[in-house]
Structures are given as structure tokens and as C-alpha cells.
Structure 1
Amino acid sequence: MDDLNSLFRKRIGISANEEITFETLNYILEQTAQNIPFENLCIINNKTNDITRENMTNKILVKNEGGLCYELNSILYFFLIENGLNAHLVRGVVYDNVHHEYVALGRTHVTILLTHEKQTFLVDTGFGGNLPLKPVPLSGETVTSNNGKFRIKKVDSEHGDYCLEMKLKHKDTDWKIGYAFDSRELINDVSQFNEIQTIIAEHPKSSFNKNPLITRLTPDGNITLTNSSFTEWHNGTLTKVEIDDPAFKDLLKKHFGL
């Protein structure tokens, strides 16, 4: 099998000999968010494979595709532990801020918990345009990145014992909930995420099995492509244009390399 560590470094544009430490995670997360898109094309095209380290390496690092949370955070998790960091995967439930309720799909979000010097942090590169871009401490302090402000709140609910709250740059004036997660159920076997992939692909209330969605962060905002529109945030300015199918294919290649 191809070497995940070297392939991941090549994909996000960092040198083969750069030491990966807790202090370099901010840079790693920014590079990952800008180079590996969040996208659901395999779901839409009915071309999913089992969730394994080998399959995700091939999909994301060899074929240079993107993925959804369970793929993006799993490949980052493998990269982190291969470089000696103490990381685990956990599952969470996304919050619907329009209807003010947690989504009915259950624990279909996958994220990472990382322990450094006896403190635990949330690390997430699979939450679309809502990425913290920095490790967020479970102790509650607010972190600020190019994408906004993020914090973890201790909760006691059926959905988990913590939740991620965010205030996205140029978009939010108040704090909103991203998702709840359970820090007590650590996951090291990614085959568990086949269940998540099936729900995402087949559940009638899944938001990812109806239309293509591709997004990634940029140095000054983010870009999002659907089959009907192309949206760009650039230094707080929003531009959205309606598109047709030929334009969709052109923009998919131009901005996402897909």
C-alpha cells in the first residue's frame, strides 16, 4: 500500500521532512481545509466503497478526491497517529440551526479528540465551511482563527457530553451550536463508519444524498459549488451565481480538481 504519511503531506503541500507536533497543527489544519474539499460526489454517483484505511488513502490521497466527515477526519486521524500524536475518533450529532433541533440521522458526524500535555482538544477537518482551523480545548476557552470563533461547552444530553459552538467570521453575530459529541466513546476502528455512510447515502432526511455539494476553504474565505450555483466568500463579500451543467463540470475541475 502507498505510504499514507508521505501522500498526505504531498496532498496538503507540506514537506516530507517537516516534524508534525501539536504546535504545527494550526498550519496542518489550514492546509488540509484549503486542499482537500468536503464533497459528496461518491454518494450522489452511488460509487461508495467500504470505509477502510486503504480505501480512503486511495480515494483522497491517490485519486485526489475529497470526502465527507467520516472520510476526511479518518484520514487526518491516521496521519496524526502515524506522526506520534495521541488522537482518537468520536461520533457526534449535527445541530440544525434553522429548526433549532438536532438532526434525525443520529450520530453521523465524525470528529477527532487529541490529547496534549494532559489536556484534550477537538480537531475537525470534516465540517464543511465550519472548520475551527485550530485545536479547540474541551476546557471551554474560545479559540479564534481565520474562520471565526469556536469553543466547546460541557453538556449533559442524549447526544453527548460536549458540544461545539461557533461564531463564523463575517456570517454569525451570535454563537450557534455546530454539533454535540460524546468524549466517552473513543473509536479506533473506522469500519464503524460504514454504518454512517449507509445512513448518509440512504436515509430520506439525509442532506447529502440529493444534490452534489463541494466546498473548501480559501485563504480569505470559502467556495461552494452545487449543481445549480457557485458561491464565493472573499474577505466578507458574498458572490453567488446560478450555473448550468456544463458550468458545474468546468468549475468542479477549475476550483476543486475533480
Structure 2
Amino acid sequence: MNDLNGKFRERINFPIDESITLENLDTLLEKTAFSLPFENLCTLSGDLNNLSDEYLVGKIIQRNEGGLCYDLNGILYLFLKENGLDVQLIRGSVYVPDKKGFSPTGRTHAAILLNDDGKRYLVDTGFGGNLPLRPVPMDGTEIISPSGEFRVKKEASEFGDYFLEMKLKYKDPDWKIGYAFDSREPVENINDLSEMKKIITEHPQSPFNKKPLLTRVTSDGSMVLTEHSFTHWTEAGVQKEEIDPERFKELAKEFYNIELK
């Protein structure tokens, strides 16, 4: 698969000879989040190519792009699987606070379940600036990371049998729902996420097919770039810069390593 193992490690600057285990997944997830931006430029172009192992390697590894949840968690799933971890892809539905409900696009969030020594964990590197940066235990144990606090709650909903809940650093005073997900219906292969991609690309209420959005977690917070503003959350507070199209291109290159024409 075009040396996915070596090329992925090179892309995120992870040692080539270090085995991947539960113990060093924290480091791996941080490096992945810092290196692979969450962005929708491919979606805005109308790309409806089916997802496959080869497609993701080409997009993320060879062309050095970022992507949405199915791209980022898709490539991470392939990498973890190639390194011998017991992982499964799952579907979920994102909670939208402004709508006081779940996304009208349905189960269009892809994430990963990890089984290790009889215990299960949620792993996610495709949730924008809301990344746990840690495997989150499925038994309700709260974890603390540079992004904030996270926990998985077992509770039935129309979208599954669990919720991811979070308290983002510098943003949330209280716990809130990130998304609901279903652990009982794993995605069989990467291609099965293609329908999710099609919905996100074409649905009239999709949040990702209208305006550019680039998000990245940093070592001290998170940053979001849109066509009109650049916002950076840190311990010092929120910094927001109003921008024009030329500045948008500069910031995309400087902070997201994306070259725009």
C-alpha cells in the first residue's frame, strides 16, 4: 500500500522503528493532530470519488492534504491496523448545540474503536478542534488532555449506544455532547464510508459544502481559519483576525501547509 506505515510516520514525524501500542498512542494522536489539518477544500470542489485505501494514501500521504473525519480517521485506521492493533471503524452523529439536536445529515461522523487487552477505547483524529488527543476508555473513565476533558457515556439513542462528552479547554465550563455513536455496527471497510462522504458533499444542510473551513489542534490550543477570519484559542484567550482572500491563502500555507492557487 505504497509503504503506508513508513510514509504515515514520516508525515507526522513519528519514529520509524517504534512499535505502536496503547502506551504511546497519546504521542501518536498528538503528532497526527498537529500534522493533519481538518479541512473541507476537497468537499467544496465537489469530489465524489469513492473512498478506498489507495485514495486515502494518495490524498493524505502523497499530496499532503488534510480532510474530514472519514479521510483522517480512515487513514489512521489503516495505519493502526497495519501496525497490528485491533481496530474498527464506526459511525456517529454529531450534536449541534445551535440546533439543540443532532446533525440533519445523520450518522456522518466516522471514528475508531480500539480493543486492547479486553478493554475498549474510542479513538478520533477527525473531530476538528475537538480532538481528545488520547484514547478515551469506553467504561466512562474521564481523561484529561491538552484539549480538555473527555469521557464516553453508555446511553442508547437513535444514533447508537454511546455518547462522547467533552469539556474543551478555554471554551466549555460544563460537559457537553460531542456526538453519539454505535459500537454494534462496525464499518466493514473504507469503501463503506463513501456514502457518508456523498452525504456531506451534497446534503443541503451539510456544514462542510458551503464555505472553506480549516481547523488544527496546536500544542497550546486550537485554530480555525475561514474565508473571513482566523481565530486562535490559547491559555491567553481568544485572538481573532478579520482577513481578506489573499491573507486566507497566506494563513492556509503558514499554519496548515496547504498551497492554494
Same fold by TM-score greater than 0.5: yes
Q: 5+ residue gaps in structure 2? A: none
Offset, 1:156: 1.3
User: How far apart, in 2, do the equivalents of 1:181 and 1:2 lie?
Assistant: 32
User: How far apart, in 1, do the equivalents of 2:246 and 2:45 lie?
Assistant: 17
What per-residue deviation string (whole Å, max 9, x for no partner) do you get for residues 1-51 of structure 1?
A: 411111110010011111111101000000000000000001112234220
Is residue 246 of structure 1 aligned with residue 252 of structure 2? Answer: no
SS at match of 1:241: strand
SS at match of 2:98: coil
User: How far apart, in 1, do the equivalents of 2:186 and 2:48 lie?
Assistant: 25
Task: Give the structure 1 partner of residue 165 of structure 2.
Answer: 165
Q: Are the counterparts in 2 of residues 221 and 236 from structure 1 also a CA contact under 8 Å?
A: no
User: How far apart, in 1, do the equivalents of 2:150 and 2:37 lie?
Assistant: 21
Task: Give the structure 2 partner of residue 154 of structure 1.
Answer: 154
What letter is aligned with 1:142?
E
Task: Give the structure 1 partner of residue 31 of structure 2.
Answer: 31
Q: Which moved more, 1:39-48 or 1:135-144?
A: 39-48
What letter is aligned with 2:199?
I
What letter is aligned with 1:113?
L
User: How far apart, in 2, do the equivalents of 1:50 and 1:157 lie?
Assistant: 29
Q: For residues 199-210 of structure 1, what are the structure 2 equivalents within 5 Å?
A: 199-210=199-210
Task: Give the structure 2 partner of residue 217 of structure 1.
Answer: 217
User: How far apart, in 2, do the equivalents of 1:233 and 1:174 lie?
Assistant: 17
Give the RMSD, CA atoms, in angstroms.
Answer: 0.9
What per-residue deviation string (whole Å, max 9, x for no partner) do you get for residues 34-89 of structure 1?
A: 00000000111223422011010010011100000001001000110111111000
User: How far apart, in 1, do the equivalents of 2:48 and 2:25 lie?
Assistant: 30
Q: For residues 134-149 of structure 1, what are the structure 2 equivalents within 5 Å?
A: 134-149=134-149
User: How far apart, in 1, do the equivalents of 2:47 and 2:200 lie?
Assistant: 13
SS at match of 1:98: helix
What letter is aligned with 1:165?
E
Q: Are the counterparts in 1 of residues 130 and 168 from structure 2 also a CA contact under 8 Å?
A: yes
Count of residue correspondences: 258
User: How far apart, in 2, do the equivalents of 1:166 and 1:234 lie?
Assistant: 17
What letter is aligned with 1:61?
I
SS at match of 2:99: coil
Q: Are the counterparts in 2 of residues 222 and 233 from structure 1 also a CA contact under 8 Å?
A: yes
Is residue 230 of structure 1 aligned with residue 230 of structure 2? Answer: yes
User: How far apart, in 2, do the equivalents of 1:119 and 1:143 lie?
Assistant: 15
User: How far apart, in 2, do the equivalents of 1:50 and 1:203 lie?
Assistant: 17
What letter is aligned with 1:133?
L
Task: Give the structure 1 partner of residue 50 of structure 2.
Answer: 50
Offset, 1:236: 4.4
Q: Are the counterparts in 1 of residues 170 and 234 from structure 2 also a CA contact under 8 Å?
A: no
What letter is aligned with 1:175?
W
What per-residue deviation string (whole Å, max 9, x for no partner) do you get for residues 129-181 of structure 1?
A: 00000011110010000000000111112110000000001110010000000
Q: For residues 55-204 of structure 1, what are the structure 2 equivalents within 5 Å?
A: 55-204=55-204
User: How far apart, in 2, do the equivalents of 1:106 and 1:220 lie?
Assistant: 32
What letter is aligned with 2:2?
D
Give aligned-pair identity as a percent. 52
Offset, 1:244: 0.7
User: With structure 1 as the length reference, what TM-score do the two structures score?
Assistant: 0.98
SS at match of 2:25: helix
Q: Are the counterparts in 2 of residues 121 and 135 from structure 1 also a CA contact under 8 Å?
A: yes
User: How far apart, in 2, do the equivalents of 1:187 and 1:35 lie?
Assistant: 25
What letter is aligned with 2:203?
H
User: How far apart, in 2, do the equivalents of 1:189 and 1:82 lie?
Assistant: 14
Offset, 1:103: 1.1
What letter is aligned with 1:45?
S
User: How far apart, in 2, do the equivalents of 1:191 and 1:34 lie?
Assistant: 26
